[in-house]
Amino acid sequence: MGKMSSSKVNRYLALKHIAEVANSTSSLKRIFNSIASSTAKAVHANGCRILSLSSQKEYLLTVGTHGLSDLYLKKGPLNAHKSLPDILDGKVVFIADATKDEKVQHPQIAQAQGISSIFGVPILKKGEASGEIRVYTREPHHFSEADRGFLLSVAAICAVLLERAELYQFLEKDYKASKLRMKSAQISPLPTASLRPTSFAHPSEKEFAKLLDFYRIEWLYEPRSFPLKWENGGVTAMFTPDFYLPELDLYVELTTLKQSLITEKYHKFRRLKELYPEINIKLLNKSDYLQLLAKYGYGPLGEAKIEGVNRVLYSHTQIQRKVRVLARRISHDYAGKQLVLVGILKGVICFMADLMQHLSLPVTLDFMAISYYGGDGQTVKITKDFDSNMTGQHVVMVEDIVDTGMTLNYVLNHLSSQNPASLHVCALLDKRARRLIDVPLDYVGFEIPDEFVVGYGLDYKGQYRNLPFIGILHPELIKEDESH
């Protein structure tokens, strides 16, 4: 057997070291930074970055890095769908010239930092990308098949580490929840790839982050640094806002009560606004950010709207993203056809209004109203029938929520009797745990637990329909009403 080449030896030793580090008791940040260092050296790259996909799968968060400047790392939020998007599809991507390739989100920063080539592989979890490993070179570089295999092996180790970190966070949250005597059914599992900072620079930042998490508002912590001063071609002063809220396209810097710190922040804040007028940024104290959240229907200042809501199940952004996905599927399936959307008043109004705006085909609308009677409360009576004749029409029944399926089954039989050309169901929420009749659902937004949900058109005794999110009603509120 011949001797191993020096490259093979380097990759073998690097993989051995990475496995040892991954099994160590060091902090997650130290582990990933060490992996990034070993990876870069093994493939003769100048830098390496290990990235995790954010909870809503929109942004890439740095969890480990080596050989890259702070300016490059904090160049701005890394959009997973704009920055080397093919990696999210499970592909290995090579960029020969990062300064000119359209798949690179910030080519001008790559040029300024002297980055030439980028080689990226996906970190896969159950067949889906949960992160990425990227290596960078200053000179044009050829990566071999052996380099590719090595990086994929490192990615497999990183996948295990990310999953272990998520499990730890979940168990930690579960423990804290039990300390507060919460029922296990009320505990909301963390979404995948939900790694968060383990520490914040100030308690106010942690408090703000918790508030954002409660309302399922996606946030990135210190995702970008803005250069403010330069000397001799180098950056001598930068400003890094505390948070970025993607759904609002807003940077947030939180202030403290110390006047000296406030004065310094105001100076940097004004300088940033002068240099980057296109950036949407706010300098907020506690009362300011509560008002900001209330403006968008969140927070304690909107107490009249959210009193009794135990927690937010889906944010407004998550709902809108799902509605667009459903609309694209329906538009594809009914291409070239006239479509009739039908719904039952009143809960479906919000969903129907948003869904039809994203359909790329001609549609008409119709509604019916029903009431319930009988001892079990499930016997249906039509109080307003559809105005249109459904014979020969392509009909999609739009439902806000399907639980037992009894009402939907009744309405589908009623529609089928009119002999439509086709009849399918689009439901935003599927509460499968309560299903009594197995009705067909062709398009489903979210499958939800057996909880009482309100918001986005769904009500409890006529209230909560105007909430911009879908929340779970506090079970104690229902118990109190049942006892009266």
d(CA 310, CA 25): 37
Name the maximum alpha-carbon separation found in the chain.
85
d(CA 370, CA 122): 50
- Amino acid at position 482, single letter: E
Give every CB contact of residue 145 below 8 A, 6+ residues apart in sequence.
none
Distances (CA, A) of 44 to 18, 20, 96, 113: 16, 21, 15, 18
Q: Tokens 């079970």, residue?
A: 475
d(CA 481, CA 484): 5
* 3-class SS string, 270-294: HHHHHHCCCCCEEEECHHHHHHHHH
Please give the full DSSP string across 67-91, using - where no structure is assigned. Answer: S--HHHHTBS-EETTTSSGGGGGT-
Cα torsion angle, 460, 463, 469, 471, sign? negative
Nearest Cα neighbor of 403 from 367, 436, 442 is 436
d(CA 81, CA 56): 12
- Among this protein's residues, is 403 annotated catalytic? yes
d(CA 463, CA 398): 21
Catalytic annotation, pick one of 354, 403, 438, 481 = 403
SS3 58: coil
Peptide bond between residue 461 and the one before it cis (omega within 30 degrees of 0): no
First to last CA, the chain: 84
d(CA 321, CA 317): 6
Q: Is the Cβ–Cβ distance between 356 and 348 less than 8 Å?
A: no
Distances (CA, A) of 297 to 17, 456, 466: 50, 12, 9
3-state helix, strand, coil in the chain (%, to 5): 40, 25, 35
Task: Determine phi and psi for 264, rounding to 5 degrees.
Answer: -65, -40
The residues annotated with a catalytic role in the active site are 403
